[in-house]
C-alpha cells in the first residue's frame, strides 16, 4: 500500500521532526516524510533532515508583505512534494486563516500541554505556575484558532516536587516523541475520523488515545 506523504514544518531544533523521521525509517511504518520546510535558515532540524536524505526547503517569512503570501508559498512547496498531511513540529509562525482552511483535516500540531489548558507559549512554566499536578502533550488538528483544533490524542506526565521548566519540558518531550509518530501512524492507516469537532480513532479504545508516562 502507498505510504502517506507527510510534510513537516519546523523553526528550530526539530526533535519531534527527528522522531517522525526515525519512525518512518521502519519499513512497516505507513507514512513517509516527503519534505521538511523551515522558515528559518538556522533551524537545527534542517541538518538532521538533510542527513536523513529528506528534501528540505527554507522559506524565510521575512521577505513577505503579509502572512498569507508566505503561507501560499509554503503550501506550494509542500504540494510540490506531493504532501498529503502537514505536521507542525515547533513551527513558530502564526498562520493566516487561508492555510488551515486549505489544509483542513490534513494538518496536525503537537503542543506541550494538555489542551485546552495552557495554549500559547512557555506552557510548561504556565503549568508549574498554576500548580497543576499533571501535564503532558496534545496532538490536534489545526484550525484557524491557535492551539484549539479537535484533539486526536494526549500523553500525560506527572509534575513532581522540585520540577523546573527544564525538567518538566524534558519529561513532556519524551512523551511527544512517542505520541507524534503514533498519531501519524493512525492517520496514515485512515483510522482517524473527525465529526463535529470530536475525534475517534477506529480500532483504538477511547482510553487508548491517552498515554501515560512510564518514566516519571
Q: Which residues are catalytic?
A: 111
122: left (phi > 0), else alpha (psi -120 to 50), else beta?
left
Joined together, the cell numbers standing for residue 48 give 538532521
Out of 13, 72, 81, 102, the residue judged to bind ligand GRF by CB under 6 A: 13
Q: Which residue is nearest to ligand GRF (CB)?
A: 90
Name the grid cell of 206: 477511547
Residue that has been written with the C-alpha cell 500548580 in this structure: 131
Residues β-bridged to residue 5: 32
Rounded distance, CA 126 to CA 97, Å?
A: 27
If the CB atoms of residues 29 and 91 are measured against ligand GRF, the closer one turns out to be: 91
Does residue 90 bind ligand GRF (CB under 6 A)? yes
The β-bridge partners of 151 are 140
Residue of the chain from 4, 7, 9, 14 that contacts ligand GRF (CB under 6 A): 14
Question: 16, 39, 56, 175: which one contacts ligand GRF (CB under 6 A)?
Answer: 16
Binding status of residue 181 toward ligand GRF by CB under 6 A? no
Under rule CB under 6 A, residue 84 binds ligand GRF: no
Answer yes or no: are the C-beta atoms of 139 and 180 closer than 8 Å. Answer: yes
176 binds ligand GRF (CB under 6 A): yes
Report the alpha-carbon distance of residue 201 to residue 182 in Å, rounded: 12
User: Which one of residues 20, 87, 110, 139 is an interface residue with ligand GRF (CB under 6 A)?
Assistant: 110
Contacts with ligand GRF by CB under 6 A lie at 12-17, 89-90, 110-112, 137, 173, 176
Amino acid at each position: 500500500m502507498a505510504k502517506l506523504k507527510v510534510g513537516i514544518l519546523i523553526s528550530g531544533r526539530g526533535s519531534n521532526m527527528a522522531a517522525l523521521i526515525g519512525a518512518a525509517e521502519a519499513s512497516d511504518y505507513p507514512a513517509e516524510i516527503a519534505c521538511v520546510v523551515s522558515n528559518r535558515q538556522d533551524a537545527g532540524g534542517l541538518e538532521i533532515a538533510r542527513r536523513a536524505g529528506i528534501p528540505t526547503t527554507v522559506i524565510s517569512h521575512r521577505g513577505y508583505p503579509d502572512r498569507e503570501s508566505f503561507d501560499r508559498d509554503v503550501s506550494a512547496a509542500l504540494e510540490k512534494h506531493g504532501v498529503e498531511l502537514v505536521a507542525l513540529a515547533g513551527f513558530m509562525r502564526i498562520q493566516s486563516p487561508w492555510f488551515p482552511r486549505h489544509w483542513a483535516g490534513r494538518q496536525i500540531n503537537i503542543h506541550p500541554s494538555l489542551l485546552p489548558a495552557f495554549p500559547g507559549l512557555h506552557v510548561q512554566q504556565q503549568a508549574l505556575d498554576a500548580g497543576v499536578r499533571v501535564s503532558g502533550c496534545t496532538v490536534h488538528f489545526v484550525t484557524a484558532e491557535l492551539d484549539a483544533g479537535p484533539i486526536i490524542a494526549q500523553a500525560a506526565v506527572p509534575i513532581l516536587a522540585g520540577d523546573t521548566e527544564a525538567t518538566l519540558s524534558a519529561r513532556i518531550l519524551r512523551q511527544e516523541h512517542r505520541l507524534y509518530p503514533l498519531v501519524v501512524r493512525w492517520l496514515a492507516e485512515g483510522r482517524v475520523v473527525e465529526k463535529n469537532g470530536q475525534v475517534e480513532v477506529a480500532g483504538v479504545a477511547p482510553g487508548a488515545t491517552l498515554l501515560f508516562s512510564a518514566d516519571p
